[in-house]
Amino acid sequence: MLVLLSPAKKLDFDRTYAPETYTELKFQKDTQELLKTAKKQNPADLKRLMKISDDLSDLNYKRFQAMEFPFNPENAKQAGFAFAGDTYTGLDITTLSEADLAFAQDHVRILSGLYGIARPLDLIQPYRLEMGTRMANTRGENLYDFWGERLADGLNDELSSHSSKMIINCASNEYFKAVKPKALNYPVITPVFKEVKSGVAKVIGFSAKRARGMMARYISQNRIENPEDIKAFDMAGYSFQPDASNDKEFHFHRDVS
């Protein structure tokens, strides 16, 4: 079983809490190919493509220009420890035990516009390149064209050796679309997290992102291999809602009234 997460725009490259153990990205050659295109973009291009401020476009221009392989602990950081948005607040990876982290390394995958798929301990360098960016490249008009079915093929290959051949999709629509779901050979379950106020259940963006990270944490801490077992997820007051769920979506609600 594999759990998919989106990356985060917010990054933390302070290496104080990073472990000594690290691994290498599986899509390095693809990243190097895409990086050639990214390096050709000037700050104005990046501002236009990603709809970001002058300061952010300048920052990411410098990041792309400085990026070079090979990655090592001096110039890079493990992906699960480098991303720092709401999802990674929920994951709270620095407080996982060594055994929990080992399970996460085998079962949690982070989708990325630049890196394709990263495991929690794969080294990355700082960047910003959302999957939805319409940056023309050597393989097409945008990043979905660039990655094609490579991500689906990678997940299919990994799952072929798992005892439970299932994907738990905790990624956003923008990122999961890059997987080309129709190219997956295995079933997908998407957890849906809603806040209930005055009897009305709604998806609240930042809360749902945090809950997705908590789900990845829960699966890692409890060594879950059977997707049925995630129905017991109860972190932060969430509980499984059988009446709202089906075989493709597991709904979890919490009362915030």
Instruction: Examine residue 69 and state whether it is found in any structural domain, yes or no.
Output: no
Q: In degrees, to the nearest 5, what angle opens at C-alpha 137 toward C-alphas 135 and 140?
A: 95
Instruction: Examine residue 242 and state whether it is found in any structural domain, yes or no.
Output: yes
128: its two tokens: 């910003």
Instruction: Examine residue 108 and state whether it is found in any structural domain, yes or no.
Output: yes
Residue type, 66: A
Whole-model pTM: value is: 0.96
Instruction: Examine residue 177 and state whether it is found in any structural domain, yes or no.
Output: yes
State how many domains the chain has: 1
CA-to-CA distance for 76 and 158, rounded, in angstroms?
A: 25
Per-residue pLDDT of the chain (257 residues), as tens digits, is: 999 999 999 999 998 888 999 999 999 999 999 999 999 999 999 999 999 999 999 999 999 999 999 999 999 999 999 999 999 999 999 999 999 999 999 999 999 999 999 999 999 999 999 999 999 999 999 999 999 999 999 999 999 999 999 999 999 999 999 999 999 999 999 999 999 999 999 999 999 999 999 999 999 999 999 999 999 999 999 999 999 999 999 999 999 98
Residue with tokens 């190097």, as numbered in its chain: 32
Instruction: Examine residue 59 and state whether it is found in any structural domain, yes or no.
Output: no
Instruction: Examine residue 206 and state whether it is found in any structural domain, yes or no.
Output: yes
Instruction: Examine residue 52 and state whether it is found in any structural domain, yes or no.
Output: no
Residues listed for the chain: 257
Q: What are 109's strand-pairing partners?
A: 4
Q: Residue 96 has what DSSP assignment? A: S
CA-to-CA distance for 209 and 73, rounded, in angstroms?
A: 28
Instruction: Examine residue 97 and state whether it is found in any structural domain, yes or no.
Output: yes
Q: Report the candidate in 249, 134, 145, 236 with the shortest Cα–Cα distance to residue 191.
A: 249
Domain housing 203: 2-26+76-255
Structural contact between residues 111 and 5, judged by C-beta atoms closer than 8 angstroms: yes
Q: In degrees, to the nearest 5, what angle opens at C-alpha 68 toward C-alphas 66 and 74?
A: 85
